[in-house]
């Protein structure tokens, strides 16, 4: 497995990561816990150490499985999570204010919930699950980042950028507080190459490419006859 240094640190993460939405059991239906844990162990056995989860994936269920498997494996993993907006809004809308979406208390509280789910003392990477760069000048999120890092609860902080808005995060990146961006990048959407990737290269900010297989559409396993439950995200995505 190829490894890369994360952001400006000496911490090495695997070139491939494991996205943990599918094991959360909500909005991505069909995973059984025993099969999910087998898949997580197989990833670890093949050299993957980066596992990307979120507090909203099954209301913490995904995080709990990742925490269990980390303990069972006896290996120290690089585990990430994400903070949902208070409005549970994806993507963040232009008219939504920072105060409506986040607060210092909300950022810290969500991080502590994730740590309890994972049974860990710290997160390797915490991320905003949505973002709007008009919030970049707000001091509350900066104070939360400083405090969580100072208290040893978060090593790195990042932003999961709104779908198909790869430049909507660069202003936050200019603060020096952002260690990584997670952004859609696949053969259909390569807009991050225009401005985001050059900015990250210049500032030594890591990139987590998400949806590389277009929600499974590029795996060859989904056809026009594939049916998903109505409460599965993919039922609406693959129309």
Q: Which domains does the chain have, with CATH numbers?
A: 3-237 (3.20.20.100)
Lowest mean pLDDT, pick from 58-67, 85-94, 122-131, 177-186: 85-94
Closest C-alpha among 112, 134, 133, 138 to residue 123: 112
Lowest mean pLDDT, pick from 114-118, 157-161, 162-166, 218-222: 218-222
Backbone angles phi, psi at 65, to 5 degrees: -65, -45
Band (219; pLDDT cuts 50, 70, 90):
low
What's the pLDDT at 98?
94
Q: Can you tell me which residue has the tokens 């690089």?
A: 78
Closest C-alpha among 206, 209, 207, 239 to residue 222: 239
Band (94; pLDDT cuts 50, 70, 90):
confident
pLDDT digits (tens, 9 = 90+) for 156-188: 999 999 989 999 999 999 999 999 999 999 998
Mean pLDDT of 119-130: 98
- Asked if residue 193 has a cis previous peptide bond (ω within 30° of 0), the answer is no
Model confidence at 237: pLDDT above 70 = no
What's the pLDDT at 163?
87
Mean pLDDT of 41-58: 98
What's the pLDDT at 233?
52
Task: Please give the mean pLDDT across all residues of the chain.
Answer: 92
Torsion angle, CA of 43/3/180/39, rounded to 10 degrees? 0
Model confidence at 213: pLDDT above 90 = no
Is the pTM above the cut of 0.85? Answer: yes
Mean pLDDT of 98-127: 98
Q: At what angle do helices 104-118 and 61-73 cross, to 10 degrees?
A: 50
pLDDT digits (tens, 9 = 90+) for 180-189: 999 999 998 9
What's the pLDDT at 238?
46
Mean pLDDT of 74-87: 97
What's the pLDDT at 174?
98
pLDDT digits (tens, 9 = 90+) for 10-35: 999 999 999 999 999 776 566 899 99
3-class state of residue 209 by DSSP: strand
What's the pLDDT at 212?
78
Cβ pair 169, 178 in contact under 8 A: yes
């Amino acid at each position: 497995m190829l490894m890369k240094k994360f952001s400006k640190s000496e911490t090495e993460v695997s070139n491939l990561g494991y996205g943990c939405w599918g094991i959360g059991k909500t909005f991505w239906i069909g995973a059984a816990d025993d099969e999910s844990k087998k898949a997580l162990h197989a990833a670890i056995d093949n050299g993957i150490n980066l596992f990307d989860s979120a507090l909203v994936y099954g209301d913490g269920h995904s995080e709990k499985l990742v925490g269990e498997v980390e303990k069972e494996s006896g290996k120290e993993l690089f585990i990430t999570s994400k903070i949902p907006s208070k409005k549970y809004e994806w993507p963040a809308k232009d008219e939504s204010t920072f105060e409506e979406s986040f607060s210092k208390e909300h950022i810290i509280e969500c991080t502590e919930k994730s740590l309890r789910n994972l049974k860990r003392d710290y997160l390797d990477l915490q991320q905003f699950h949505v973002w709007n760069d008009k919030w970049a000048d707000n001091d509350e999120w900066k104070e939360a980042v400083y405090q969580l890092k100072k208290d040893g609860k978060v090593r790195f902080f990042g932003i999961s950028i709104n779908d198909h808005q790869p430049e909507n995060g660069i202003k936050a990146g200019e603060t020096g507080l952002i260690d990584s961006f997670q952004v859609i990048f696949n053969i259909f959407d390569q807009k991050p190459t225009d401005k985001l990737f050059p900015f990250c290269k210049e500032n030594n900010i890591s990139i987590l490419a998400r949806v590389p297989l277009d929600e499974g559409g590029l795996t060859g396993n989904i056809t026009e006859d594939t049916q998903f439950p109505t409460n599965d995200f993919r039922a609406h995505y693959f129309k």
